[in-house]
Chain A
Amino acid sequence: MTGRYAIRFAALGYIGGLLLAPLSYVFYKTFRHGFWPAWHAVTTPDALHALKVTLILAGIAVPANTIFGVMAALAIVRYRFPGAGVFNAVVDLPLALSPVVVGLALLLLYGRGGWLGGHGVAFALPGMVLATIFVSLPFVVREVVPVLREIGTEQEQAASTLGANAWQTFWRVTWPAIRWATAYGVVLTTARALGEFGAVSVISGRLAGQTESLTLYVQDRYQSFDEVGAYASAVVLALIAVTTLLLMTALKPKEETR
């Protein structure tokens, strides 16, 4: 029995020191001087613009990757096609790739002297969108694939024998089974898209008030010795993270008890 307690308290201590302490500290540090200094710090024009950029990035990347994610999961699980193994590996690639490398790859493709250079992609919003899509690409696929495998094809075959076309089969049979997994994937995608730093850092050029997302703004403020600004914008991101956590927790049981 002592072993059980030892593991319990070791686990609690590890989580407390590594996860809980930092999370509470960021709130403490921001609101140490009250609410209003922090509020003013996140409502400066540059901060608001950074928030807007971040929301635009997520607003494009999340829907794009959701549609792709469901289609790719269908392709991986339901259809046999040449190169399926490579397809599967490439989908996972963004998870194992350093964000800096992603940013560099985009810079070399769309930057000066690149194959597709000179179209205003690098050091501008389109490049940042592409970077965000790249890094947040695998999540919906990875959540939907196991569910598709598990539900099997019997119901879909039944639907199609009864005369449903591919579209009807998808909407009436497949989609209801995978929608919670998709929702969970969307939450993960959103979290990744909002928090991306390395890739957008390289491709954006970090022009304050123009191509600065909220994560870049945090670093910018910190390096300009504006602690209040850095922590206040970090809290905005942390609040989004906590909301994400709550959503993840709310969606997960449905996925597990299906």
Chain B
Amino acid sequence: MAARAEALPAPKARRWAAPGLVVGLSTLYLSVIVLLPLAALAWHAHGWDAIATRQAVAALELTLTVSLVVALVNAFAGTAIAWALVRDRFVGQNFLNALVDLPFALPTIVAGLVLLTLYRDLAFTRWAILVALLFVTFPFVVRTVQPVLLELDTEMEDAAVSLGASSFATFRRVILPNVLPAILSGVALAFARAIGEFGAVVLISGNLPFKTEVLSVYIFGRIESGDPGGAAAASVAILGISFAVLLAIGGLRRLATRHDR
């Protein structure tokens, strides 16, 4: 009762102090941890000729191409696996469902090491980079599509089937329009992750300039050889791509929520 009596005349000032404190502290934290280092990065980005070198351009090209392929494969494989996990019933499904998150839980360097020994024939080729990136980006599309499929009523599909639609037509006309925003959003996340991945790629790719050197490894090489300015310039390029992808995700999310309501 005493506490209640104390709380009753809660002054307006104190009630307003909480939002200020929460917003202020978290903004401060975010600024010190994230924004300040990135500002330093932008400040020190010079030696723009470092990103105009043929080696850097080759690394950027390779990174973009492989990431696009990774995004595409994930769009199909991720959707199929989400479908199998939600609509299908088979023994070991729960185990499989838990396994999907493995790439989020397993350190990327461990993934790289294991894939390197397991797929030894692919080592130091572009295929190796593809496999490593497919591993680390695996959960994104599955985990964005799965909840949407779960919420999607099977009634519409049943109706389509009863009206004589083939299973492919049902998928294309009924399921796909509903899950497409989720697929795109997952694909964008996977693409962004593939662009920046380092740990899984560094061992398996062999890092041969012009052949298997991706942009993050190129940046690492610039740092190691004492050219932080050039590394920063290449980083700003990669940052621009990442930010564009983030904006795209934001747009897709808005699109998806508008779809809902």
The contact of B196 among A11, A99, A237, by CB within 8 Å, is A99
Q: Which residues of A contact B118 (CB under 8 A)?
A: 21-22, 25
Are A195 and B88 in contact (CB-based, < 8 A)? no
Closest to B191 in A: A96
Are B239 and A197 in contact (CB-based, < 8 A)? no
Are A108 and B100 in contact (CB-based, < 8 A)? no
Interface flag for A153 (CB, 8 Å): no
The size class of the interface chain A forms with chain B is 35 or more
Are A137 and B34 in contact (CB-based, < 8 A)? yes
Are A75 and B103 in contact (CB-based, < 8 A)? no
The contact of A105 among B25, B29, B38, B108, by CB within 8 Å, is B38
Are B216 and A18 in contact (CB-based, < 8 A)? no
Interface flag for A208 (CB, 8 Å): no
Instruction: List the one stretch of B47-55, B174-182, B227-235 in contact with chain A.
Output: B227-235
Interface flag for A78 (CB, 8 Å): yes
Interface flag for B105 (CB, 8 Å): yes
CB distance from A101 to the nearest CB of B (A): 4
Are B219 and A94 in contact (CB-based, < 8 A)? no
- With A and B bound together, what is the CA distance between A29 and B80 in angstroms? 31
Instruction: List the one stretch of B3-11, B154-162, B205-213 in contact with chain A.
Output: B3-11
Q: Which residues, 189 to 217 on B, are CB-close (under 8 Å) to A?
A: 189, 192-193, 195-199, 202-203, 215-217
Residue-wise, chain A 97-118 has the 8 Å CB interface mask toward B (1 for contact) of 1111111111111010011000
- Residue among A19, A96, A163, A234 with max Cβ neighbours from chain B (10 Å): A96
Closest to B242 in A: A96
Are A105 and B41 in contact (CB-based, < 8 A)? yes
The contact of A198 among B14, B19, B88, B199, by CB within 8 Å, is B199
With A14-B81, A21-B118: A97-B239 Cβ-Cβ less than 8 Å: yes
Instruction: Summarize B's interface: helix, strand, loop or mixed.
Output: helix
Interface flag for A158 (CB, 8 Å): no
Instruction: Summarize A's interface: helix, strand, loop or mixed.
Output: helix
Q: Which residues, 205 to 245 on A, are CB-close (under 8 Å) to B?
A: 215-216, 218-219, 222, 230-231, 234, 237-238, 241-242, 244-245
Closest to A91 in B: B30
Are B235 and A71 in contact (CB-based, < 8 A)? no
Are A100 and B216 in contact (CB-based, < 8 A)? yes
Q: Which residues, 79 to 100 on B, are CB-close (under 8 Å) to A?
A: 80-81, 83-85, 88, 90, 94, 96-100
With A3-B167, A98-B219: A87-B27 Cβ-Cβ less than 8 Å: yes
Q: Which residues, 107 to 151 on B, are CB-close (under 8 Å) to A?
A: 107-111, 113-115, 117-118, 131, 134-135, 138
Q: Which residues of A contact B97 (CB under 8 A)?
A: 249
Interface flag for A60 (CB, 8 Å): no
Are A163 and B4 in contact (CB-based, < 8 A)? yes
Are A100 and B219 in contact (CB-based, < 8 A)? yes
Residue-wise, chain A 109-138 has the 8 Å CB interface mask toward B (1 for contact) of 101001100000000000000100110010
Q: Given A96-B193, A98-B197, A106-B37, 20 other A-B contacts at CB below 8 A? A: A3-B167, A4-B88, A7-B84, A7-B88, A8-B84, A25-B114, A25-B117, A93-B34, A96-B192, A96-B196, A100-B235, A101-B41, A163-B4, A163-B10, A198-B216, A216-B109, A234-B113, A238-B106, A242-B105, A249-B98
Binding site for A on B (CB under 8 A): 4, 7-8, 10, 14-15, 17-19, 22-23, 25-27, 29-30, 33-38, 40-41, 43-44, 77, 80-81, 83-85, 88, 90, 94, 96-111, 113-115, 117-118, 131, 134-135, 138, 167-168, 189, 192-193, 195-199, 202-203, 215-217, 219-220, 223, 228, 231-232, 235, 238-239, 242-243, 245-247, 249-250
